């Protein structure tokens, strides 16, 4: 079976096979669902430098699941059964930094969320904006929304309705409903932070 061939490659140290096999164990595709085996595969792949697996391991350390929307630390992966009490935000940040160094847009976005909230990292709105800008430029829809809102509010950036609208429109085109709402408000009420804020 496909899982058997993946297992053989994973045992041989192939990080992509380890990551893919983790997905199969996680979702129960072709094998019986086993989240402990899934986490073991993801950890091996992450240790081997696989950026997507590193993002998964960050989510595991945060105790998050696939339904988490606010910070979107891993839209595609479940928390593999971790309890919130077992969360290790500092370890999550380390995994994300490794993945971001390889260009992972999910990692850049999630680092922005963690910097903004001061979770696992010292709170820094400036660093949050930097991370979101990296992710947004690479096409991450939620990073585009976060960056657009920062420009709208003038929070750690020079306030600009024009730039806010650019990023909010890009985010809305990728299906972020709240971005569409704010883009619509800016278009309807015209430019100017005061008018935009009046629509809150």
Per-residue confidence at 2, pLDDT binned at 50, 70, 90?
confident
By residue count, the chain amounts to 200
Q: Which residue has the higher pLDDT, 185 or 86?
A: 185
| 18-32, 80-94, 150-164: segment of lowest average pLDDT | 80-94
pLDDT in tens, 118-148: 999 999 999 999 999 999 999 999 999 999 9
Q: In this structure, what token pair is assigned to residue 186? A: 């800016």
Is a pLDDT exceeding 70 seen at residue 193?
no
Distance in angstroms (rounded) separating the CA atoms of residues 147 and 124 = 14
Give the predicted TM-score (pTM) of the model. Answer: 0.82
Q: Which two tokens stand for residue 101?
A: 């160094």
pLDDT for position 29: 87
- From CA 75, how far away is CA 192, in angstroms rounded? 34
């Amino acid at each position: 079976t496909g899982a058997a061939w993946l297992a053989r490659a994973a045992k041989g140290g192939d990080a992509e096979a380890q990551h893919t096999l983790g997905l199969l164990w996680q979702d129960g595709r072709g094998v019986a669902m086993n989240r402990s085996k899934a986490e073991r595969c993801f950890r091996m792949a992450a240790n081997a430098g696989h950026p997507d697996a590193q993002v998964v391991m960050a989510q595991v350390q945060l105790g998050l699941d696939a339904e988490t929307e606010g910070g979107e630390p891993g839209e595609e992966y479940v928390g593999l059964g971790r309890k919130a009490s077992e969360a290790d935000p500092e370890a999550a940040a380390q995994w994300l930094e490794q993945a971001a160094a390889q260009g992972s847009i999910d990692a850049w976005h999630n680092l922005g969320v963690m910097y903004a909230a001061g979770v696992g990292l010292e709170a820094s709105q400036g660093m949050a904006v930097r991370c979101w800008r990296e992710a947004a430029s690479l096409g991450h829809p939620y990073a585009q929304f976060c960056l657009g809102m920062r420009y709208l509010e003038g929070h750690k950036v020079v306030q600009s309705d024009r730039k806010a609208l650019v990023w909010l429109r890009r985010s809305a085109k990728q299906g972020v409903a709240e971005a569409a709402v704010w883009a619509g408000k800016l278009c309807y009420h015209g430019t100017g932070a005061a008018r935009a804020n009046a629509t809150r």
